[in-house]
């Protein structure tokens, strides 16, 4: 039996793919309505994280931020109190590496194994089972989890010990945020010089300077429609985690700091729940 904690934009599709493959699944989410489609498709509901954990030997969590993970794991009726000794907790949340190591220690105190396994990919890859898992933890634990990860994703990349999976996730999201911001500025400049927006997009996307993921953002920029696949406020949060990691490791990241403030201003101006590609709309001020 598998438990899944957190059925938001990403977790819902990930859990759904496990169900499609015939796995018995117990789910918990702070808002039950966000798990209703899973319940309709055969998942069992738990009234608390602890209750969900008691029904499984493998537990996945996919939560918004470190405080949500800590509260759900260690708070009143937290799932660590319900997990059996020898069980495996796989945290797919984007959190600081030091926090992942702390959670690994908390799990170990209770005889529970732990993998940090954040994902590269957003809503559509999650729906298609095409995520990339970036995993920190013991190889033997990963081997046990890998068949399930392969249902939800197209690749599993072992990064090393606990905390290394979340470290790599921050590296990836930094490049995503910066690439999206630079691309948005380039398109905005082209428009300011009275170039046709679609021509600018096609030319940039057909060249060597645009990151491959930007092709999937073309329609959003072209139509000024930013339904969230990965909300801007989440990207801003991740950039804050990048800034903390840089400070903790004695490295200066001036471009990361500029990107963090850009996304922070966009959030402040009301773009937080739009897709992170709406940083283009913030630059253009076409909300």
Is residue 50 within 8 A of residue 82, CB to CB? The reply is: yes
Is residue 165 within 8 A of residue 142, CB to CB? The reply is: no
Is residue 27 within 8 A of residue 45, CB to CB? The reply is: yes
> How many alpha carbons fall within 13 Å on the CB side of residue 89?
36
The active-site residue, picked from 123, 164, 169, 267, is 169
Coil vs helix vs strand at 3? strand
CB atoms within 10 A of CB 203: 13
User: Chain centroid to CA 20: how far?
Assistant: 21
Closest CA to 180 of 280, 285, 254: 280
| Catalytic residue check, 154 | no
Active site residues: 169
């Amino acid at each position: 039996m598998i438990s899944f904690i957190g059925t938001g934009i990403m977790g819902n599709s990930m859990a759904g793919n496990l169900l499609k493959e015939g796995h018995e699944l117990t789910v918990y989410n702070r808002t039950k309505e966000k798990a209703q489609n899973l319940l309709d498709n055969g998942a069992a509901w738990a009234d608390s994280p602890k209750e969900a954990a008691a029904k499984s030997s493998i537990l996945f969590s996919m939560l918004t931020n470190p405080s949500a993970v800590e509260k759900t794991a260690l708070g009143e009726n937290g799932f660590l109190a319900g997990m059996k000794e020898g069980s495996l907790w796989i945290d797919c949340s984007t959190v600081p590496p030091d926090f992942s190591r702390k959670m690994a220690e908390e799990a170990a105190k209770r005889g529970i194994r732990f993998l940090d396994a954040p994902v590269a990919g957003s809503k559509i890859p999650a729906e298609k089972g095409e995520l990339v898992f970036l995993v920190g933890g013991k190889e033997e634990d990963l081997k046990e989890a890998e068949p399930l990860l392969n249902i939800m994703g197209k690749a599993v990349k072992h990064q090393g010990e606990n905390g290394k999976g979340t470290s790599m996730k921050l590296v990836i999201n930094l490049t995503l945020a910066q690439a999206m911001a630079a691309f948005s500025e380039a398109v905005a400049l082209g428009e300011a010089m009275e170039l046709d927006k679609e021509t600018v997009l096609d030319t940039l996307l057909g060249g060597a300077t645009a990151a491959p993921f930007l092709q999937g953002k073309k329609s959003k920029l072209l139509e000024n429609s930013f339904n969230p696949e990965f909300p801007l406020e989440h990207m801003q949060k991740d950039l804050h985690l990048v800034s903390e990691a840089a400070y903790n490791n004695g490295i200066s990241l001036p471009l990361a700091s500029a990107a963090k403030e850009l996304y922070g201003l966009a959030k402040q101006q009301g773009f937080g729940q739009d897709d992170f590609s709406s940083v283009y709309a913030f630059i253009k001020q076409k909300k």
